[in-house]
Structure formats: C-alpha cells, structure tokens
Amino acid sequence: MKPAKISILAPGLIGGSVALAAAQAFPTTSLFIWSRKKESLAPVQKALPQAQTGTDLAMAAGSDLVLLGAPASALGQLVHSLLPHLNAKTLVTDVASVKMPVEREVAPILQGRARWIGSHPMAGSEDSGFSAARADLFRGAAIILTPTSSTPSTTTREAEVFWQTLGGRVLQMPAEEHDRSVARISHLPHAVAAALVRAAGKSDLALVGPGYRDTTRIAAGPSALWAEILLGNREEVLAGLQELRGGLQKLETALEKADATALAKFLDEAAQIRRNLPAS
Amino acid sequence: MKPAKISILAPGLIGGSVALAAAQAFPTTSLFIWSRKKESLAPVQKALPQAQTGTDLAMAAGSDLVLLGAPASALGQLVHSLLPHLNAKTLVTDVASVKMPVEREVAPILQGRARWIGSHPMAGSEDSGFSAARADLFRGAAIILTPTSSTPSTTTREAEVFWQTLGGRVLQMPAEEHDRSVARISHLPHAVAAALVRAAGKSDLALVGPGYRDTTRIAAGPSALWAEILLGNREEVLAGLQELRGGLQKLETALEKADATALAKFLDEAAQIRRNLPAS
C-alpha cells in the first residue's frame, strides 16, 4: 500500500500522532490535516511543514485514506460534511474507543460512497491534543480493526498494512467483541482509577509512591472524552463493574474473616495473570 | 550523622536498596548485611565487595544503626534474637508497610535496650528480592517516620538525616495516621489492581494498552507479602474499600441513568486531583 494522499481530520493526540508517524512512514505521500479550528493547525503546520493544513473539508478530495481523529460524538456530522469529497475507492477509518455506536452511525452514511472500517489504536496517554502527539505512539501498540461481515477483505488488508507501516500490531475482531473486551481492559480501569483518586484524601497525597502514581495515572485524562467513552459503552462497562464488584466482595470477605489463605489466593491468581502479560 | 557501622538485616528489595544506597552515601561506614539464608548473600557480596555479610546476628554488634528489612511477620522473632547484640545507643528502624502492629510488637521488646523508630519508604516496585534493589530507589521518595509520643527528638532527627542522605523526602506522622493514609494510597490501589486483573478475561489481554499496564502493574507484586500487608492494616483497608464502593456506586448510577453531566463531574473531580499531584 502506497497511498498518494492521506487526510487526517482532527489532529488530537491520536490523529496528530498518525500525522507525525505517516509523515515518516510515507515520505512521498501528500498529507492533508484538517481541523474545525484554524488555531489548532498552527502547531501542526510547524511540526509538519511539508503537509497541507486547512479548515475546509474540500481539501480532503482525492484522498486514498481518510483518518477520522474526531471523538465519536462528532463523527456523524463530520462524515456527512465529508461525503461530497469522497469517492468509492477512498478508505475511511476512525479511531474511536467504542466501535458499535460508530458502526451503527457511520457505516450507513458511507455505504456505497466510500470504503469504511473501524480502527482502535490501544495507545495514548493521560495527555490530549496535538502537543501530546508522538511519531512513535503506535510502535508495538495493539491496533484493533473491526470489520463487519460485509467488509471486503481487501479493505481490511489495506487498513492492516497502513497501521503496520506506522509500527502497530494489528488484530481483528467484530465491533461487539471489541467493545466487550475494551470495557474490561480500558474503560473499567479508567473508571476505577478515578474512583481510587476520589477515595484518598488530600492530606494522603504527600505520601504517594510509584504504585499510586501508576495505578491512577489515567485518571488525569480528559474527562469529557472519557465520559463519552464510558457512556458509549455503558452496558459493557456496567457488566465489567459488576464483575469487579464481585471480586472486591471476595476480598472484603477474606479481610473481614482475616482469612490469610483466601486473601493470598486472590492476590496470587491476579499476580500470575499479570506476570504472564506479554511485554509491550 | 556519620555512623561508623550500619547493619542491614534481610537484603530484599528495600533492605538491599538501603545497602546499595548506604554504600554510596556513607563510603567510610562499615556495612554488615545479614540474611537468614546463606545463599541470599552471594549476590549481595558480589554487588558490595567492601561489605561484611553473614547469617550470624552477632556480627551486627557495635552498630550505630540497624535497619530491619524483614517483613512485619518476622520482626518480633528477629528483634528478640538481635537483642543481645544491641546497646542503648543503637538506632533500630524497620521498613514495614503497616506501622501500628510493629509499634505494638517491636517497641516493647526494644524498650530500654536500644532506640527505635518506625520508617516506611514509599518506594519499591512489583519486583522483589535483592535482584530488584537499586541504589537510587529512595531518591525523591517519600519516607514516613512514625515517632511515638515517647520517641526522643534526637532519635527522629537521626533517622531523618539517615534517609535524607539516601535521597529521601522525610515526613513524620503518628503510626495510626500513617496506616490510615497508606490504606488509601497504597493498600487499596494494590487490592483494586488485583481485582481489575481478575475482571478481564484471558482473551482480552492481547489488546491491552498502556492504561491497563500501568493501572495493574502492582498486581504482579509478591502475593504473600501483600496478603500480610492487607491483613496487617485490615480495618483501614476495609474502610477504604467502603469509600471506593461508594464511588463505584455513584459511577454505576450515572451510567444506568446515562447521566452525562454526573459522569463528567465524577471523572473531572478525579482528574483535577490527579493533575495536581506533585511530580515525583
């Protein structure tokens, strides 16, 4: 895959990192970076002097690939405005953290007008915006593609090669399965990190060590975006919260009974799983 | 403070790091490192050829400072065996993660036989043992001293200077207050990290990103030690679990009602607190 033109709509943490990584991985490809706000484009233009930037979606015309970096709530409107500038060969992908709502909303709009596949790069940080973007953000990161039963395999393959060229480790699964999994490995940890921060008092914070820092790091992330993500996946997040609650109940019972064996078993089972996690 | 001799009993992650750091910070001081098991001492002797090592507590005789690196459950027995080799001027300190039980058990044994103060370095990692020890482990780390109402200020001051010389940021508070705080910023996060790991299925783990990795890192820690810590501080940990449960309930209600405002507020309050955490 050697795209002649890539357009990136909304250069936030993910979109901006795609722009920086694509500029390195596809040095002869034309890059167009769009933002709704002109002032967001100045730092992008500075970091990528060879790229085109602008607030007019018409400049995306003729793209082989359009990456939608906007949050899920903005995608419907954005894709509608983008329609006149797409052709049937354009590959469109988004990077939203919850895939079923995007599949329901975006796929019908693009049906017969462009090719679409959902992407979710498992990369990022508690920071947001282009200032947090990094060209190596996707190196070694899991990138989940969510083809539907009607997605042509050539579309999936093209998206796979694109992300692999940016350094990603590509996996495929249906959107529903994706949403179930990320509820447990991304959305639930975020929710719990926030609850942990709230459970500690201000005076406790002078004492914190590396354990607390790491456990709660993601709680500093952009709240509006995370509220949208949790709501977009609320059934699975609620199911994950139920499972977590069951675990915490087990722990509480072991503590109340001062049952050292049960407690060690609970912690040990978790330690075994966590130690077997492949290095990133 | 320029101790002529420092003894470190049990060179695990913390004791071993004290040994490595003290060798650098006090280059003219004699170091003695004790372990119950001879085979644990070979790597220590290799890393610190200038130190004395041995399995005989009599070799600790004449120490200005004795650091007890053993876990809380072993301290009573260890201090009893150590008694004949102490003098009234020796400063003894431990590094256990829960201070009230140590204060109750160790202080009476040492009463009139040596000077004692509790220490808790808020440093460490999910690894354990001397192989994980680092000379810079305490650099910038919060070190909590827990003097009692009868601890002479000279004792507190000496311990403070010792830890500061190893790079620590020393704080003081009663053991009870310490235990309440660390329940919320260390013990509860550990328990929750374990519960989070258990809430995800094995198939989910191929997808994990940096958020999950950081949130659950500490769950890989030594389970037996952590079971001991959680049990040693069980009343405060149970109180922390109650508070956490209240927060999770709030979150669940907001998700069930699809209340975006309440959800964003919940996350935003946590994000504000977390962002204001001083850098380590």
Q: What was the ipTM of the complex prediction? A: 0.88
| Segment A14-47, tens digit of pLDDT | 999 999 999 999 999 999 999 999 999 999 999 9
Give, for A142, the enclosing helix (H) or strand (E).
strand A142-146
Is residue B279 less than 8 Å (CB to CB) from chain A? no
| Segment B230-273, tens digit of pLDDT | 999 999 999 999 999 999 999 999 999 999 999 999 999 999 99
Residues in chain B with CB shorter than 8 Å from the CB of A248 are: 191-192, 195, 241, 244-245
pTM to 2 decimal places:
0.88
Note the pLDDT of residue B280.
Answer: 63
Per-residue pLDDT band at A280 (split at 50, 70, 90): low
Is residue A58 less than 8 Å (CB to CB) from chain B? no
| Segment B60-110, tens digit of pLDDT | 999 999 999 999 999 999 999 999 999 999 999 999 999 999 999 999 999
- Would you say domain B178-275 falls under CATH 3.30.70.20? no
Span A5-173: which CATH code? 3.40.50.720
Query: Average of pLDDT values for B186-204?
Result: 91
Which one, of B237, B236, B184, B235, lies nearest residue A199 by Cα? B184
CB proximity under 8 Å: A 117-136 to B:
122-126
Residues in chain A with CB shorter than 8 Å from the CB of B216 are: 189, 274
Record: contact A199-B244, CB cut-off 8 A: yes
CB proximity under 8 Å: A 248-277 to B:
248, 251-252, 255-256, 258, 260, 263-264, 266-271, 273-275, 277
Closest to B273 (Cβ–Cβ): which among A197, A206, A260? A197
From B193's Cα to the closest Cα of chain A, the distance in A is 7
Note the pLDDT of residue A1.
Answer: 64
Nearest residue of A to residue B194, measured between CA atoms: A270
Is residue B224 less than 8 Å (CB to CB) from chain A? yes
Note the pLDDT of residue A201.
Answer: 79
CA A173 to chain centre: 15
Per-residue pLDDT band at B1 (split at 50, 70, 90): low
From A190's Cα to the closest Cα of chain B, the distance in A is 8
Nearest residue of B to residue A185, measured between CA atoms: B212
Nearest residue of A to residue B145, measured between CA atoms: A207
Record: contact A189-B210, CB cut-off 8 A: no
Note the pLDDT of residue B262.
Answer: 96
Assess whether pLDDT exceeds 70 at residue A169.
Answer: yes
Domain boundaries, chain A: 5-173, 178-275
Nearest residue of A to residue B267, measured between CA atoms: A223
| Segment A212-242, tens digit of pLDDT | 999 999 999 999 999 999 999 999 999 999 9
Q: Which of B208, B235, B269 to mutate to test the interface with A (most CBs of A within 10 A)?
A: B208
Which one, of A182, A184, A146, A186, lies nearest residue A163 by Cα? A146
What is A68-126 written as a DSSP string?
Answer: E-S-HHHHHHHHHHHGGG--TT-EEEE--S--HHHHHHHHHHHTTTSEEEEEEE----S
Closest to A238 (Cβ–Cβ): which among B195, B241, B255? B255
The span from the CA of A225 to the CA of B210, in Å, is: 17
Reported in sequence order, the residue ranges of chain B that DSSP labels E, i.e. its strands, are 5-9, 30-34, 52-54, 65-68, 91-94, 115-121, 142-146, 169-172
| Segment A178-215, tens digit of pLDDT | 999 999 999 999 999 999 999 987 778 888 989 999 99
